[in-house]
Amino acid sequence: MAEYKKHKNDNKEAGLPVRPETAVRKTDTLVYALGGLGEVGKNMYCYEHENEICIVDCGVLFPGDELLGIDYVIPDYHHLIRQDKKRKILVITHGHEDHIGGIPFLLRQVNIDAIYAPRFAKALIQKKLAEHKGLEKTKIIEIDSDYRIRTKYFTVGFFDTIHSIPDSLGVLITTPNGSIVHTGDFKFDLTPVGRNADYQKMAYIGALKPTLLMSDSTNAGVEDFSISEKDVSREIMGIMRNAKHRMIIATFASNVYRVGQIIEAALATGRKVAVFGRSMENVVDIARKMG
């Protein structure tokens, strides 16, 4: 406290404005995390200016062994509940549970104007909301890398990224105080399965010199490249050719390209496929319907 008073007096003597460092001016753009910061799960970031809040993602965290009897860990929504009079939109980067799993719980407590989600994530969210009575008619707008959202204070654009699920997007948010790049989860793969990242648009955004980068990439601190999905595909095919009997393969249901590679390798080696697990059945069904 004494140090703060000294700093305050120093400012006064120097003819500088005197105000606490934590004071928020009406013209400020606020950036804060309600989940996902320093943890793998319940990703939820908020960008606020005056009476508008742009929320990016709304996920869950799956509990560890220390949380017996707990199904999901969700962000604390009380700040958004207290800001009930402010207009809120929810932007989804991709369809993983740690980015969309908290949406039903959020919608029960907070008024959201609309959810903006890429194609595959939209289908997963619709399936999820259909299981929650009263949320089936939630407004979900499909977006892609060419889509623009314009509100009074925000302009939100998108760019294609590579992740272990189809239709993964990064986000560019332009505010009255500068621009913010929110990458969502991503990796770089020079020979991907499915659509490639839009490196040209990323380079263009970089040339614009954004004010803030919010980058989210698990294991980004590990040196060297990740294995390409094409290499994984060849490895799966080799294992299936050499295996003489029944195979059991475990993988994330949401890694649709990987599931597709497994099924294609099974068909190429004359195997029958049985899909087990509620999430796996749901995702495979949605992926087949969407081509």
Q: How far apart are CA 153 and CA 177, in angstroms?
A: 10
DSSP helix/strand/coil, 210: coil
Q: Identify which has the larger pLDDT, 36 or 53.
A: 53
Q: Which of 64-68, 166-170, 256-260 has the highest mean pLDDT?
A: 166-170
For residues 207 and 44, what is the distance between their CA atoms, to the nearest angstrom? 27
CA angle 215, 92, 118 (to 5 degrees): 115
> In the structure, what pLDDT confidence band is assigned to residue 279 with cuts at 50, 70 and 90?
confident
Q: Where are the domains of the chain?
A: 26-216, 229-289
As its CATH architecture, domain 26-216 has 4-Layer Sandwich (3.60)
Q: What is the mean pLDDT of residues 258-270?
A: 93
Q: What is the pLDDT of residue 71?
A: 84
* Residue 171 reports pLDDT greater than 50: yes
Averaged pLDDT for residues 243-264: 90
**What b-and-e string marks burial along 19-36, b requiring 16 or more CB atoms within 10 Å of the CB?**
eeeeeeeeeebebebbbb
- In Å, the largest CA–CA distance within the chain is 83
Over residues 181-209, mean pLDDT: 91
CA–centroid distance for 244 within its chain: 40
Q: Look at residue 164 in the predicted model and tell me its pLDDT.
A: 84
Mean pLDDT of 21-26: 78
What six digits make up the tokens of 1? 């406290």
Looking at 1.10.10.10, 3.40.50.2300, 3.90.1150.10, 3.40.50.10710, the CATH number of the domain 229-289 comes to: 3.40.50.10710
Question: pLDDT: is 254 or 138 the higher one?
Answer: 138
Contact predicate 249/262, CB 8 Å: yes
Model confidence at 8: pLDDT above 60 = no
pLDDT exceeds 90 at position 125: yes
Average pLDDT over residues 120-125: 94
- Across residues 148-161, what is the average pLDDT? 97
**pLDDT tens-place string over residues 201-220:** 999 999 999 999 999 777 77
Contact 170, 93 (CB under 8 A): yes
- What is the overall mean pLDDT for the chain? 89
Q: Is the pLDDT of residue 5 over 60?
A: no
Using alpha carbons, select from 134, 120, 175, 146 the residue that is nearest to residue 285: 120
pTM (predicted TM-score) = 0.86
Beta bridge partners of 57: none
Q: What is the mean pLDDT of residues 58-74?
A: 86
pLDDT at res. 15:
61
